[in-house]
Structure 1
């Protein structure tokens, strides 16, 4: 039997447009899992460049990596700053 070669898949490598980013975040929001939402924001931030997001938000790059990981627990203000730096918007719609 031949060996199957696999490689790690990173969502950040596939988020190329604002539309991709918005759709990815929207899917995480629809799922409703807070850890998934934060991780999605982290993926989007990495796709744009964590250094530039850190600069735009005034937050430390390493602290952003930690806060926006699957197990991160960022303050809501951090989430809002990151969303704004990404050029995205959070919206409320009736369910």
Structure 2
């Protein structure tokens, strides 16, 4: 019996800007602090849109942008912020709500 393909391509499900923004916000909220989840979300969103469009706005070739989003050292902060802007997003800080018994910073 053949195994079903378990690969899920998130970029294929991020069809609207509202879906993409919600996905990005969820990844921001759940990132473990190293930025990896945020970079992966940006890569998914860039792939969901026409890669060339986003990379032109950021000022990086397609392959460099995509590789930079998943690299361990990631994008330079300025390129990261240009990518956010090119996707039509902006970052905002909110105060974390601490629940009883939550000792995290």
Q: State the TM-score, normalizing by the size of structure 2.
A: 0.81
Q: State the TM-score, normalizing by the size of structure 1.
A: 0.89
Gapped regions of structure 1 (runs ≥ 5): none
Structure-2 residue corresponding to 1:27: 26
Between Structure 1 and Structure 2, the one with more helix by share is 1
Matched residue count: 94
Q: Deviations over 1:7-54 (max 9, x none)?
A: 521110110111111111111111123101101111001101211111
Query: In structure 1, how many angstroms separate the alpha carbons of the residues matched to 2:6 and 2:87?
Result: 28
Gapped regions of structure 2 (runs ≥ 5): 97-105
- Partners of 1:39 and 1:70 within 8 A in 2: no
Structure-2 residue corresponding to 1:18: 17
Ranked by relative contact order (alpha carbons within 8 Å, sequence separation 6 or more), the top structure is 1
Structure-2 residue corresponding to 1:62: 63
- Partners of 1:38 and 1:72 within 8 A in 2: no
1:40 equivalent in alignment to 2:25? no
